[in-house]
Amino acid sequence: GESVGLHLPTLSVQEGDNSIINCAYSNSASDYFIWYKQESGKGPQFIIDIRSNMDKRQGQRVTVLLNKTVKHLSLQIAATQPGDSAVYFCAEVTSGTYKYIFGTGTRLKVLA
Amino acid sequence: NAGVMQNPRHLVRRRGQEARLRCSPMKGHSHVYWYRQLPEEGLKFMVYLQKENIIDESGMPKERFSAEFPKEGPSILRIQQVVRGDSAAYFCASSPETSAGELFFGEGSRLTVL
């Protein structure tokens, strides 16, 4: 289940289950969104992106859903594996600008 | 094609010393961003640079911090007279242009101030 830690909210899931990580974005003008994965001691890595003319995009085991009406973004990870344990950040930006806005992040813990 | 290279990966400084963090963007990228991250927190924007120009430094403290991205060589984030509160991970990201596209991150430089 979800819990709020000192700073980062944490989502704990059983290995093999699906994970859903949510992100509320702030700027209604944002038209490009990215999910990043950050493992301990490493830099953020790109997972998947979506533009505002889409509401769903699928990758390998990951799906991003975009709801512009409520300014909500979600990342779904199918059949979660131990290697998925990391902090996940969403980022939003408006085309033609450089102002990437990062969410606070969610820590995903995969339980064996 | 090498990714974004940051060095040093770890840097220890005593209070009052200077810290210099370097970032070589991906080949062909002319846009560099610096972010700061405290443990268990998100990425905080510091500065955005293009070659030889600082475009936005609104996230950077006005004193002691400076950044540059010269025509030749890496981007440098410089922190003078470091204090304990400067201890953090500093991440550099690059992109090929100002647009809605992926930012490519380095592995970060972890500064510890004693």
Q: Tell me what pLDDT residue A31 has.
A: 92
Cβ of A103 under 8 Å from any chain B Cβ? yes
**Rounded to whole angstroms, how far apart are CA atoms B48 and B101?**
15
Q: Tell me what pLDDT residue B99 has.
A: 63
CB pair distance less than 8 Å for A44 and B100: no
Alpha helices in A10-93 (DSSP H): none
Q: Tell me what pLDDT residue A33 has.
A: 95
**A60 vs B101 pLDDT, higher one:** A60
Q: Tell me what pLDDT residue B1 has.
A: 53
Structural contact between residues A65 and A56, judged by C-beta atoms closer than 8 angstroms: yes
**Rounded to whole angstroms, how far apart are CA atoms B60 and B82?**
14
Provide the token pair at B97.
Answer: 């242009």
Tell me the mean pLDDT in the region A78-89.
96
Neighbours of A76 (CB within 10 A): 16
Provide the token pair at A72.
Answer: 């909500």
Interface test with B, best of A8, A25, A98 (most B CBs within 10 A): A98
CB pair distance less than 8 Å for A32 and B101: yes
* A71 Cα to chain B: minimum distance (Å): 17
Across the interface, which of A44, A95, A104 has its CB nearest the CB of B99?
A95
Across the interface, which of B98, B101, B108 has its CB nearest the CB of A43?
B108
Provide the token pair at B18.
Answer: 């200077």
Q: Tell me what pLDDT residue A7 has.
A: 66
Judging contacts by C-beta atoms under 8 Å, the chain B residues touching residue A43 are: 4, 6, 91, 105-108
Judging contacts by C-beta atoms under 8 Å, the chain A residues touching residue B91 are: 43-44
pLDDT digits (tens, 9 = 90+) for A2-59: 433 346 899 999 999 999 999 999 899 999 999 999 999 999 999 999 999 999 999 9
Residue in chain A closest to B32 (alpha carbons) equals: A98
* A80 Cα to chain B: minimum distance (Å): 22
Buried-exposed string B46-80: b where 16+ CB fall within 10 A, e elsewhere? bbbbeeeeeeebeebeeeebbbbbeeeebbbbebe
Mean pLDDT per segment of 10 residues, for chain B of length 114 residues? 90 98 94 93 93 93 96 96 97 82 94 97
Cβ of A43 under 8 Å from any chain B Cβ? yes
